[in-house]
Amino acid sequence: MPLKARVGIIGLGTVGSGVLRLLAQQGGFFSSRLNIDLTVSAVSARSAESLDTAPAGAYRTTDPMEICARPDVDIVLELAGGCEGPLAWISAALRNGKHVVTANKALIAAHGPELFPLAAKYRRVLAFEGAVGGSIPIVKTLQESFVANDIDGMACIINGTCNHILTEMTDRKIPFLDALKEAQALGYAEADPTLDVEGMDAAHKLAILAALSYRKFVDYREMSVTGITQITPLDLELAGESGYAVKLLGVLEPGPDGNLFAHVYPALLAKGHPLASIHGVSNAVFVKGSAAGSHILSGPGAGGLPTASAVVGDLIHVCRQMGNNLFSEHTVNCMPREEKMQLVPIGALVSEYYLRFTLNDIPGAIGEIATLLARYGISINFALQKVLPGRAGVTILILTQKSRELDVRDALAKIHTFPFVAGKTQLLRIYR
């Protein structure tokens, strides 16, 4: 007897239409080889034009809430995006006994603590592979393949827009705003790019990866989140000359007392690091499992078809879970709000730093800076003084040895009182 599952789809944008295409292409295989018969029984979309693309026989509506209540829907795919609507729809769907698949990272990051316990209560699956890293199977890997591992650390490139902009800025030495405008023209950046370029989208995804890795709720609002708007082509050039690439990273590392280091910032990566060669809109996760060792998973971080691939993968996963009586693993690792991990403040970091000073060109400036850094216990790995064509004053680059971030910040505050300092100092962390 094949398993019959009736699917309701909310949203027929690029992901939703990708899902319809994949179901049409692969439906025969699902039926003949996996013994799973899928029917799209109901669809909601905002426009009549979109609804016209729904499969024959599917109920059509502009009201997503209808999809979540219909008795002929077993599994709801929430592919509309946004937060408030989807929270209401998914909650209703779970209460009505439906399994749910979503690719909505903002929703899972913010409302996971309500939604996962709700799914567990009604013994339904809430699957979300497409929420992080597009078609990269990182959610399944953390929940299933690495189930016997503690996660010793993670660094990830999980915002394709930022990675694309940084790649273009590096390769073509163009400023951030020019690269952003091009990315918008290419459709790689939104009209309002704030969520991406300020790092908040990466923070949403990092919070989800943290919850999967450490099995407690991690609140992205408590992270230190720095985007890429302050990165200049000069930084990328100086970093490159020193053997580093600059990437926007989400970083996880277990800290003392069961706390977690979980922050988003642009970081220098030695060019030999596997993440340093992830270019353009690609995403990648570098994850260290206590038993499995160090792994890289990389691929397209977004896009209609890659995300649809993840959604349909989840859909089949849900079908396979429908018959069993275990709590689904997709409900167990994201915990209610009370089980929240405390974050290690980013100021507690001990790291190597990239410091770029902009100074008036007076004799002895580099000496005074080095002396002051030494007074704060900060040793120097590499120092370079340059007069740059077309740039007033002098640029000094210092790469520090491992130092406490609080010491570095204190030292910078002191240095900024020096009369020869002509501009804001750029501080970037080096990820090893």
Catalytic residues: 205
To the nearest whole angstrom, how small is the minimum distance from the Cβ of residue 367 to its own copies? Answer: 40
Q: Taking the complex as a whole, how short is the minimal distance between the CB of residue 18 and its own copies, in angstroms?
A: 7
In angstroms, the CA 78 to CA 9 distance is: 6
Nearer to its own copies, 135 or 351 (CB): 135
- Which residues are near its own copies by CB under 8 A? 1, 3, 18, 22-23, 25-26, 29-30, 33-36, 129, 134-137, 140-141, 144-149, 215, 272, 274, 277, 284, 289, 291-300, 303, 305-306, 308-310, 312-313, 316-317, 319-327, 329, 332-333
Closest residue by Cα to residue 70 from 50, 46, 98? 98
* C-alpha distances out from residue 241 to 59, 119, 353, Å: 60, 51, 16
Rounded distance between C-alpha atoms, residue 50 and residue 63, angstroms: 13
217, 209 contact by CB (below 8 A): no
Pick 227 or 300: Cβ nearer its own copies: 300
User: Minimum CB separation from its own copies for residue 19, in Å?
Assistant: 9
Q: Specify the length of the chain in residues.
A: 432
Shortest distance, position 89 Cβ to its own copies, whole Å: 23
* Angle in degrees, 0-180, between the axes of helices 365-375 and 405-415, rounded to the nearest 10: 140
Three-state SS at 157: strand
Contacts (Cβ under 8 Å, ≥6 apart) of 127:
99, 100, 101, 102, 314, 315, 317, 318, 328, 330
| Beta carbon nearer to its own copies, 263 or 317 | 317
Indicate the residue among 328 and 358 with the shorter CB distance to its own copies: 328
Q: Which residue in 152, 162, 184 sits closest to 291, CA to CA? A: 152
Contact criterion met (CB below 8 Å) for 40 and 20: yes
CA-derived radius of gyration, the chain: 24
| 35/194 with CB nearer its own copies | 35
- Closer to its own copies by CB, 292 or 422: give it: 292
Residue found by looking up tokens 């995403």 in the block:
283
CB–CB of 404/350 below 8 Å?
yes
CA atoms within 13 A on the CB side of 16: 26
Closest approach of its own copies to the CB of residue 137, in Å? 4
User: What's the rounded Cα separation, in Å, for the pair 130 and 71?
Assistant: 26
Shortest Cβ 79–its own copies spacing (Å): 14
Segment holding 42, helix H or strand E: strand 36-44
**Least CB distance to its own copies at residue 335 (A):** 9
Nearer to its own copies, 292 or 427 (CB): 292
In whole angstroms, what is the distance from residue 79 CA to residue 16 CA?
6
